[in-house]
Chains A and B, each alone.
Chain A
């Protein structure tokens, strides 16, 4: 159970629906641990500043975590919690592993999820 103020993605169906909708989204997949809590906090703080982006979390050890974010080609080679993925136009446009700063998250939101930016995975 993640104790955050973010919306939780709890089923594979919810993840697929979000991906298929083409919406801009950030999903933090982690545990309630020291490297993850700051990233949830950053997303909560940025939520109001990016009204066109939907912010979620997902439990790392849950079936949905295993079946979705942990199995994506974009997170292969990741071994630092949390895994954070950014979606847009039905694709994963960015993914990061381990703790991030607000500045690093903003940079992705301002480039990969900005209107007019190309949807390129990386």
Chain B
């Protein structure tokens, strides 16, 4: 197996696979490494109805096509391969992969996406698959004629609450705020459904039961009033968090743990780019991940070409004033010096906030 690549892409979701297609097509030697299943969140999507040019397809079908495209142009894809160590600082980047050894590259694209947010309660793990679920389409039919709870207040939560009324006798939507983050149409549809009731401003305290879930205990955020909701199922749709904790010593992250980039999706480390849900941006969709993958790949191609010529391109934040950096406030670090992330923590909220619309 080749040990040196022009570009290594970490993450094989929509962003990583798209980057792979563009890189390989530009004749870059390309390795895509994913510690899980190829496809990332797209695999979790039963039906994608808003990917232009594809009228209706499952996420898995789109993934299979993207992977085929990337491989047909020559990208190598390693799935279920844990990245154990990275060194991104120098001109030659190092990526150590479990059971595969160490690879080097001139550029790295970080496309590690997001993971579902968890409540972090010990009882949450205990009842996973025994009442707690993250996929209404997968597990909805287990709850035929039963009372269930949906936790969350975004589009996914409300849309899935409505779809779960096909099976459940009642659906209680539990949300932490006094208003929903979902689009008005999703809120209206849920409110119009007679099987759905709402408990707002609630903290989930505990999941209780024996062999399987029997109730969800919540507390009102202001009054502290405890409510025990009898439920055999609880579906969690409380958003996604960027998969970047492991990168905090390597590239600049903002206060939400999102990778900070400039318009060319360069991070604050030369030769390191970020794409998709893992980076700071407003909208998180397959289309935006694909766009990111394209931009990061083209920027990486430029970086590799400039390295080959002996010139170096500048990391994010080193642009001349005439070329404004609109989506980054990264402060570049001098090699070997600790990065000052304090400015990043003051990123305007609107710019860094997440909006995952499913």
Measured CB to CB, the residues of A under 8 A from B are: 31-38, 41-42, 45-46, 49, 76-81, 96-99, 101-102
Contact = CB atoms under 8 A, between A and B. Distances in A.
A33 B211 contact: no
Given A34-B59, A45-B80, A97 B130 contact: yes
Nearest to A41: B37
A101 B138 CA distance: 17
Nearest to A32: B60
Mostly helix, strand, loop or mixed at chain B's interface?
A: loop
A34 B138 CA distance: 7
Interface string B124-140: 00001111111101110
Contact of A96 (B129, B142, B143): B129
A41 B38 CA distance: 9
Contacts of B129: 78-80, 96-98
Residue from A31, A36, A80 whose CB has the most chain B CB atoms within 10 Å: A80
Given A34-B45, A38-B36, A79 B138 contact: no
24 contacts: A33-B138, A34-B45, A34-B59, A34-B137, A35-B44, A35-B134, A35-B139, A37-B37, A41-B36, A42-B80, A45-B79, A77-B212, A78-B129, A78-B212, A79-B133, A79-B233, A80-B130, A80-B133, A80-B139, A96-B129, A98-B128, A98-B129, A98-B134, A102-B36
B137 A101 contact: no
Interface residues of B, number: 31
A38 B60 CA distance: 10
A81 B37 contact: no
B44 A34 contact: yes
Task: Please report whether the interface of chain A is mostly helix, strand, loop or mixed according to DSSP.
Answer: loop
Contacts of B211: 76-77
Nearest to A76: B211
Contacts of A97: 128-130
B99 interface: yes
B80 A41 contact: yes
B43 A34 contact: yes
Contacts of A102: 35-36, 80, 82
A76 B80 CA distance: 30
Given A34-B46, A37-B37, 7 more contacts: A32-B60, A38-B36, A41-B80, A45-B79, A79-B133, A97-B128, A99-B134
Nearest to A45: B80
A76 B211 CA distance: 8
B99 A79 contact: no
A18 B46 CA distance: 33
A46 to B, nearest CB: 8
